[in-house]
Amino acid sequence: MENESSETRNRARLAIMELANMISVPMSLNAAVRLGIADAIWNGGANSPLSAAEILPRLLFASDTTIGGDPENLQRILRMLTSYGVFSEHLVGSIERKYSLTDVGKTLVTDSGGLSYAAYVLQHHQEALMRAWPLVHTAVVEPETEPYVKANGEAAYAQYGKSEEMNGLMQKAMSGVSVPFMKAILDGYDGFKSVDNLVDVGGSAGDCLRMILNQFPNVREGINFDLPEVVAKAPNIPGVTHVGGDMFQSVPSADAIFMKWVLTTWTDEECKQIMKNCYKALPVGGKLIACEPVLPKETDDSHRTRALLEGDIFVMTIYRTKGKHRTEEEFKELGLSAGFPTFRPFYIDYFYTILEFQK
C-alpha cells in the first residue's frame, strides 16, 4: 500500500474532497444570483471593490428592513466563488476583503434588455430539476426513463408547458444565452450572405431570425418554424412569417435552414429524421446551418471540455437519456446518413459550434 503521507496520495485525497464537495459551487452561484450580487457590485458600471458589509445593503432583499443579513456568510460565498473566477478579491490591510466582478462575473449583470446569464443559472437549479440529480445512476441502469421523469412523474418540457413560471424562466434563460451567442456568430460567420430565404427550425419567438435579418439584408424572407402553440404567441416581426408544424413530419422549403440547440436533445434516429426532412426542403447547394455543442475527440481537463461534458450529463439527466452532445465525427456521420455530402464546422463560440451541412 502506498504511503499515505506521499505527495501522490495527498493530492489524490485533496482531489476527491474537492469533487465530493463540488455541489457548493453551483449552489453558491445560485445563491449569488438570487441575492443579486453581480448587479450590486456592478452598480451601473462602477465595479468598485466592495466589502461584504458594503454589498449587503445593495442586495435584492435589502428593501425589507426586517431582514438584517449576515455579512460574514456573504463573504464566505464571495470567497468560494472567487476561487472559481467569478469575483476578484482585493485585500485591504491585513483583515478586510473587498470584491469586484471578473469577466465571468460580468455575465451575470443585467443588460439594457433585462438579460444576463443569471436566468440560466436559476433555471438549472429549480427544485424540480434538483430532484433529478440524485438519480443520475438510473440513466445507466434504466435508460428508458429520464432521471427527471423518475423524480417528477413527467418530462421536463411537459412540465414547462403546464407551468407559466417554469416556462417563463426557461425562455428568459435561453434568451440570456442566445443573444450574446448570436452576436458572436453574426460577426464571425458569413454563411448567410448568399441566402434569400431562411427557415429557423425551433425558432420560438423569432428573435434569432430578427437578428439575422437585421445583419444580412440580403435575406428577404424569414420563416419562423416551431410548434403551433409556440408560434401562436410569437410577435409580429417585419420580414418574418410564423409557421406552425412538426419537424418530424416536414420542414418548410428555403435556400437555407437554421437551427440552434435542437439536435442535442434528440436520439441519433430522431436527429436523422429531422435532418432528412431538412434535406428534402432544400434545393441542391442549399445549407442546413446547425448550432450545437461539439465534444472534443479526446478528453482533457480544460474548461471547454468540462463545460461540454457537464452539459452532456445535464441533457442525459433532465431531457433525454439518449439525447446527447456529439463529436464532430458523429455529426458528420449523421449528415451523411441524412443525405448531406458536404460538412464543415466553424468554431467561433467556445461552447456552441456552427455545423454547415450542404446538399
Closest CA to 320 of 138, 148, 133, 67: 148
Question: For residues 231 and 238, which has the higher predicted lDDT (pLDDT)?
Answer: 238
pTM of the model: 0.92
Grid coordinates belonging to 106: 460580468
Banded model confidence at residue 63, pLDDT cuts 50, 70, 90: low
Banded model confidence at residue 170, pLDDT cuts 50, 70, 90: confident
Whether the per-residue pLDDT at 137 is higher than 70: the answer is yes
Query: Burial of 141 by CB count in 10 Å (0-12 exposed, 13-18 middle, 19+ buried)?
Result: exposed
Q: Give me the mean pLDDT over the 3-15 stretch.
A: 92
Confidence (pLDDT) at 193: 93
Is the separation of the CB atoms in 340 and 320 below 8 Å?
no
How far apart CA 16 and CA 172 sit, in angstroms, is 35
Whether the per-residue pLDDT at 175 is higher than 90: the answer is no
Q: In percent, how much of the chain has pLDDT > 70?
A: 98
DSSP 284-298: TT-EEEEEEEEE-SS
How far apart CA 151 and CA 176 sit, in angstroms, is 27
Could you give the dihedral angle defined by the CA atoms of residues 330, 336, 337 and 339, in that order, rounded to the nearest 10 degrees?
150
Q: Give me the mean pLDDT over the 314-323 stretch.
A: 96
Closest CA to 289 of 221, 196, 192: 192
pLDDT tens profile 277-293: 999 999 999 999 999 99
Mean of all residue pLDDT scores within the chain: 94
Other C-beta atoms within 10 Å of 310: how many?
11
Whether the per-residue pLDDT at 26 is higher than 70: the answer is yes
